[in-house]
Structure 1
Amino acid sequence: MSVIQPASASPKTKRTRIAIAGAGLGGLALAVALSRRGYAPVVYERKPVKQIRSEGAFLTLAPNGINALRALGLAEVVIEAGLETAGLALFNEHGRRLAVVDYSAHRAKFGAPSVTIRRGALGALLLDAASAAGVEIRSGNGIEDVEAAGEIVAVHSTDTMQYDALVASDGLRSPIRRRLFPELPQPLYSGLIGTGGVIDVEGVASTNGLMNMTFGRRGFFGYIAEPGQPVMWFNSYPAPIDAVGQPADPKAYARFIEDLHRDDPLDNARIMAAVPAIERHYPIFDMPELARWSRGRVLLMGDAAHAVSPHSGQGASMAIEDAVVLAALFDNAETIEAAFARFFVLRQERSQAAIRVGRAAGGQKSAQGWLQLRLRDLILPLVMPMAAKAQSRLFAFRADRFPLTQPVQ
C-alpha cells in the first residue's frame, strides 16, 4: 500500500492517478509496473496502437534491461521472442577483425542474456501486458498542453483530465520538456545519422550469435544473421545537420545507403543490395546533462530526461529500468514530489555513465582521415577490454531486486 496520499483519486479507491506521456517502451513499462502496484496510470500516445506493434527495426536489450523486464514478468517471453546475442565482433574497412566482446557468459554472470529483438515485437509484448493489467491507453491522443499547479496536473488532449502526477516519457524531443522546462538545454546533433531494418537475404553467412560491426570507408555497418532468420542490420554515417529530414524517396535512399557500403567487407554489400527501400532514418542526438528532471508533480523519464545514444546499446534497457525503479519508489515516498526527487538521485549518475559509454563508441564511428583510421585500428584492441568492463558495470544492475540493490555506477 502506497503512503502517497492521492489528490484526485476517488476517496473510495484511493488509487493515485498518473498520466504517462508516450507509449514507447519506457512509458508502457511504467504503466504495467504502476498498475500492478495498485495505481491508475493512463497512457497518452499520438500514434495508433497498430503502429506501436510494427514500428522501428530492432534493438538489443542488455542483461540489465532483461532483468528489468523480469520485474514485470516479461523476461522469458522477450528472450523467447528475440535472438540471444553472443557478443560483438568489430572489423575495419579491410575486413580485419579488431576486437571481439564476448557476451556468452551474460546469463551466468548477470542472470540474463543480451537479446536482440524487433522493436515492434517488444512494443507488442508490453502493450499486451498493459492491456492485461487494465491500463487505459489513449492512442491517437497526444498531450497538447499541461497545467501543473499544486497537487493537480491538468492534461489537455482531446479533452481535459486531472491527475495526481504526470510522467513525460515522450522521447528525446519531448514536447513536455520544452513546455514546462524551457530553461533546460536542448539535444545537440552528433553529426551522425543512423538507419536499419530487418530483411530476408539469401547467402548471408551465420554470425554465430555475434553482431558483426564494420568501420567502413564511408559509414559504420552492423548486422546479426542466424540460419532461417531474417538479417537484422543497421548503419550510421556522418552527415550535415541539413540532411536530417526524412527521406523523400525511400527507394533512392536505400540505394544511397547501399552505395555507402558497396566496398565493405563481410556480407554488408549483399545485405544492402537486398533492401528495396528505407522509409526512415534516425539522426543521432547527444543529450546534455540536465540539472533537474522534475518540477512539482511532473517528471521527465527515459529519453526525455537522459537520452542514451544507440552507440551504447542501453537506450531501451535504461528506459525500462527507469520504469521499474520509479514504480517502486512510489510505494515508499510520503509525497509524489519526494518520489521524483529520489528518482533523480538514484538514476542521474547511472544514466550519465551509460551516456559516456555511448559517446566513446560514437566517437570511433566518426573517424575519417587516414591517420585517425590507423590510430583507431591500433588503439581499439587495447581499449575494448576497458569498454567491456564499463559495460559490465551497467549490466550488473538488477532493477528486479530494487530497492535491495543500489544502482551500479
Structure 2
Amino acid sequence: MNVLVIGGGIAGATTAMALQRAGIEAAVYEAYPKAADGVGGALTLSPNGRNALRQIDADDAVAAAGLEVPGMVMQNHKGRAVGRFDGLAGLPSSLLMRRDRLYRALMDEALSRGITVEFGKRLKTIENKPDQVVAHFADGSSAAGDVLIGADGIRSAVRSTLDPAAASPRYAGLLGLGGWIRNPGLPVTGNYQHFAFGKRAFFGYFIDADEILWFSNVPAADPAEAETASPEHWLSVLRERHADDVPARDIIALLKPEDVGQPGVLEDIPTVRTWHRGRVVLVGDAAHPTSPSSGQGASQAIESSLELARALRDSPDVATAFAQYEAARRERVERIIARAGKINNDKGAGPVARIMRDLLMPVVMKTVMKPEKMFGDLHRHRIEFAPSRASV
C-alpha cells in the first residue's frame, strides 16, 4: 500500500511514522515551503499523547524538546490556589512545549526514518478513483497512491473535497494572546502550570528561572478584530482585563507591544460529518478540531494517527479500515471537543456567572473535580500498537 499524507504538522508526521511502523509506505506533502520554525505559541502534550508516541518510539525525541510538568494549579483572580491537579500514578508527566519545537522534533524524527517529505505542495484538487487516488498541487505537480490522508488542520482542504458543505470552524468567543518573555526575577512556579479565572479574562502562566510563559483568553465579540487591531491595542486590552488579577497584572506589566503580537482565534467544529469517502480519510484537526482549551489537540491527533495506521494494517480493505478507525475514535474526540466548549464558556462567563463560579469552585475542586475523576479516562487511554513483522 502506498499512502499520500497531506499536511506536515503534528498529525502528518506522526501518521507517516505510524504507517511506517505498520509496514505501509507513506510520503508527506506540506503546503508551506519550509518547516514551521518559530510559528505558534505553546501547548501541552498530555500523558495519553506521550503514551501514543511511545508506541512508535518517538517520545524520547519529543521529550528532549519539552519540559516535564507534574501537574497544574487552579487559582482565583486574587492569586489564591483553589485546587491542584497532580499527575496520575503510573503515567508519564505532561510536556509543556513550544509548538514549533514539537513540529521540528516530529519532522526531524520522520526524516531520520527515511520518510519522504516534500514542501511547497499546496493541495489543489483530488481525484478519488475506485482503484487509486491522485493529488494535484498548485505548483502543477501531482502524486498518486492507494490512500490519501488529510492531515491538513482545522481548515482542511481535504475535508472540503470530501464534503463541500462541511461545517466551518465555530468561534468560541475568545481570542488567545500569549508568548514567552525573559524572567527578571519573579518567583518560579516549581514546574507547575498555573491557570487563573480572572475577573474579566482567563490567564495562564509558567515561570522558571529564565523565562515566563504567559497566555490570556480574552472574550471578544468579533474575531475579525484579531487581524485588524495593533499589538499596542492588545497590550492595552490585557492591562485593562487583568488590572485586578494577581499575578497576571505583574506579568503583563513586563510586556512590550512586540511581546504581544497578533491574537489567535479559539475555534472548534463539534462534529465533522464526513471523515472518509472512497480512498480519502481525515486525521487530526481535519477530522476532529478542538479548541486549545481542551489541552488535547496534539494528543488526540497522535492517538488518531495510531488508530488509522493500525486499521489500515489489520483490515482487509480500505473501506473497512476507515470504518473501524472512525468507530474507534469519533465518540472519544467529540466528547473532548464538547468538554472544551464548556471550558470556553466558563472562561467567557459574565459577571453573575463569574461570581457563582468563584464561590463554588473551591468546594467543587475538593469533591467532584478530583484528578482521577477528571482525567482518569482521558489520560489513561492507551492504544496498543505492535509493529508489523515487515517493519521490524
Shared fold (TM-score, shorter chain, > 0.5) = yes
Name 2:22's counterpart in structure 1. 37
Q: Secondary structure at the match of 1:204?
A: coil
What is the percent sequence identity of the aligned residues?
34
Name 2:33's counterpart in structure 1. 48
Q: How many Å apart are 1:215 and its aligned residue?
A: 1.6
Q: How many Å apart are 1:98 and its aligned residue?
A: 2.3
Q: Secondary structure at the match of 1:306?
A: coil
Deviations 1:306-334 (A, max 9, x none): 11221111110000111122112211111
Contact 1:98 1:377 (C-alpha < 8 Å) held by counterparts: no
The 1:275–1:211 alpha-carbon spacing in structure 2 relative to 1, beyond 3 Å, is farther
Name 2:174's counterpart in structure 1. 192
Deviations 1:361-402 (A, max 9, x none): 222101121x21221012223444545423221100122x24
Q: How many Å apart are 1:262 and its aligned residue?
A: 3.5
Name 2:100's counterpart in structure 1. 120
Alignment partner of 1:332 is 2:314: yes
Name 1:88's counterpart in structure 2. 72
Provide the C-alpha distance between the structure 2 equivalents of 1:268 and 1:357, rounded to a whole number of angstroms: 29
Which has the larger displacement, 234-243 or 311-320? 234-243
Provide the C-alpha distance between the structure 2 equivalents of 1:275 and 1:328, rounded to a whole number of angstroms: 48
Which has the larger displacement, 183-192 or 270-279? 270-279
| Equivalent in 122, 126, 147 of residue 127 of structure 2 | 147
Unaligned runs of 5+ in 2: 388-392
Counterparts of 1:161-200 in structure 2, within 5 Å, are 161-200=143-182
Supply the AA of the counterpart residue of 2:247.
L
Provide the C-alpha distance between the structure 2 equivalents of 1:307 and 1:226, rounded to a whole number of angstroms: 31
Contact 1:34 1:41 (C-alpha < 8 Å) held by counterparts: yes
Which has the larger displacement, 253-262 or 288-297? 253-262
Q: Secondary structure at the match of 2:287?
A: helix
The 1:265–1:80 alpha-carbon spacing in structure 2 relative to 1, beyond 3 Å, is same
The 1:217–1:393 alpha-carbon spacing in structure 2 relative to 1, beyond 3 Å, is same
Contact 1:201 1:274 (C-alpha < 8 Å) held by counterparts: no
Provide the C-alpha distance between the structure 1 equivalents of 2:252 and 2:67, rounded to a whole number of angstroms: 19
The 1:360–1:382 alpha-carbon spacing in structure 2 relative to 1, beyond 3 Å, is farther
Counterparts of 1:181-220 in structure 2, within 5 Å, are 181-220=163-202
Counterparts of 1:91-102 in structure 2, within 5 Å, are 91-102=75-86
Name 1:261's counterpart in structure 2. 242
Name 1:236's counterpart in structure 2. 217
Deviations 1:165-199 (A, max 9, x none): 11111111212212321233222111111122122
Q: Secondary structure at the match of 1:192?
A: strand
Q: How many Å apart are 1:275 and its aligned residue?
A: 4.3
- The count of aligned residue pairs is 381
Provide the C-alpha distance between the structure 2 equivalents of 1:44 and 1:219, rounded to a whole number of angstroms: 39
Provide the C-alpha distance between the structure 2 equivalents of 1:383 and 1:219, rounded to a whole number of angstroms: 21
Supply the AA of the counterpart residue of 2:287.
A
Name 2:390's counterpart in structure 1. none
Counterparts of 1:55-94 in structure 2, within 5 Å, are 55-94=39-78
Name 1:284's counterpart in structure 2. 266
The 1:132–1:403 alpha-carbon spacing in structure 2 relative to 1, beyond 3 Å, is closer
Deviations 1:276-295 (A, max 9, x none): 42333221113122343111
The 1:62–1:337 alpha-carbon spacing in structure 2 relative to 1, beyond 3 Å, is same
Q: How many Å apart are 1:227 and its aligned residue?
A: 2.1
The 1:150–1:194 alpha-carbon spacing in structure 2 relative to 1, beyond 3 Å, is same
Contact 2:61 2:109 (C-alpha < 8 Å) held by counterparts: no
Q: Secondary structure at the match of 2:123?
A: coil
Q: How many Å apart are 1:118 and its aligned residue?
A: 1.1
The 1:175–1:202 alpha-carbon spacing in structure 2 relative to 1, beyond 3 Å, is same
Q: Secondary structure at the match of 1:117?
A: strand
Deviations 1:132-161 (A, max 9, x none): 121221212111111212121110112122
Q: How many Å apart are 1:124 and its aligned residue?
A: 1.0
Which has the larger displacement, 310-319 or 375-384? 375-384
Provide the C-alpha distance between the structure 2 equivalents of 1:403 and 1:36, rounded to a whole number of angstroms: 8
| Equivalent in 320, 337, 358 of residue 355 of structure 1 | 337
Deviations 1:31-86 (A, max 9, x none): 11212333221212122334x23211111111001111112212233233322212
Taking only aligned residues, the RMSD between alpha carbons, in angstroms, comes to 2.1
Provide the C-alpha distance between the structure 1 equivalents of 2:368 and 2:334, rounded to a whole number of angstroms: 17
Which has the larger displacement, 278-287 or 348-357? 278-287
Q: How many Å apart are 1:90 and its aligned residue?
A: 1.7
Q: How many Å apart are 1:403 and its aligned residue?
A: 7.7
